[in-house]
Amino acid sequence: KIQLEKVENAFEPLLKSLNITRFFAYGISDDRLGQKLILVLETDFLSEKEKSTLLSSVKTTLSTYQIPKAIFTISTFSETATSKIDKKATIKRLNL
């Protein structure tokens, strides 16, 4: 079992340097793995090179299973009535 908070903590300083302050780790269904870990960022764009650099940067901090299999971006997160990130609604908007 992966602790999502640990994954998020590993990415936090790297993402702050890119001025990305809102993000979350999440598990989605996968045909081969059963479930796979992804990282969702609130930003308009992140190049494939930047995504690859982010994933490489946490390899010394996280185990192989804790490294997200993909990074997705979305311009704005869905929010709950109390202004918290609505992860399920955001994932649904990404069509995952």
pTM: 0.93
Q: Distance from first CA to last CA of the chain, Å, rounded?
A: 21
How many angstroms separate the Cα of 9 from the Cα of each of 6, 31, 81, 93? 5, 28, 25, 25
Q: Tens place of pLDDT for every residue, the chain, 96 residues?
A: 889 999 999 999 999 999 999 999 999 999 998 899 999 999 999 999 999 999 999 999 999 999 999 999 999 999 999 999 999 999 999 998
